[in-house]
Every structure is written in C-alpha cells, then in structure tokens.
Amino acid sequence: MNRIEAISLVIQALESLGAHDGGELDENIDLIGDGIVDSLDSMMLIFELEKIVGRRISTIDKDFSDFTVSGLATALTNDAASS
C-alpha cells in the first residue's frame, strides 16, 4: 500500500463515520484536537479502518496518539509493509 492509497482509506473511514463530507482535508489536521472526532469516535475510526483493510492494524496500539490523517496513513503503510 502506498501513501496515497493509505490517505484515501483514512478519508473513506472518516466519511463512513460521518466525520468528513468529502471536501479537502489537510493531512496534518489533528482529528481529535480540532474536533473532527472525539475519543470514542477515534476508536470507531480505527475499527472502520480495520474493517476496510480486512485485518487488525498492528501498528496502531493502545499507545498510538497521532490522530492526524498523515499519522494514520503512516500507520497503515507501515502495517502493510510489515504484513
């Protein structure tokens, strides 16, 4: 999975949760800090990403804190590379 595909998956997951309307989205936006998702939604976002990729994303664990589009895309690409 390349970075562009990973970003697309993050945006798809956000849209599935109703947290994004399909417009432009800055890769560095803090999804929690800027109110796009709350702490509960962040867990739902991870579950949605795992549903989309069809497996657990091992690079996102209990200590994961980079809830930016870029951070989630990096986690997805790193996970895909290690699989």
pLDDT tens sequence for the chain (83 residues): 999 999 999 999 999 999 988 777 899 999 999 999 998 999 999 999 999 999 999 999 888 999 999 999 999 999 999 87
Give me the number of domains the chain comprises.
1
pTM attached to this predicted model: 0.91
Is residue 38 included in any domain, yes or no?
yes
CATH number, residue 24 = 1.10.1200
Is residue 82 included in any domain, yes or no?
no
Q: Which domain holds residue 30?
A: 3-77
**Distance of alpha carbon 75 from alpha carbon 34, whole angstroms:** 20
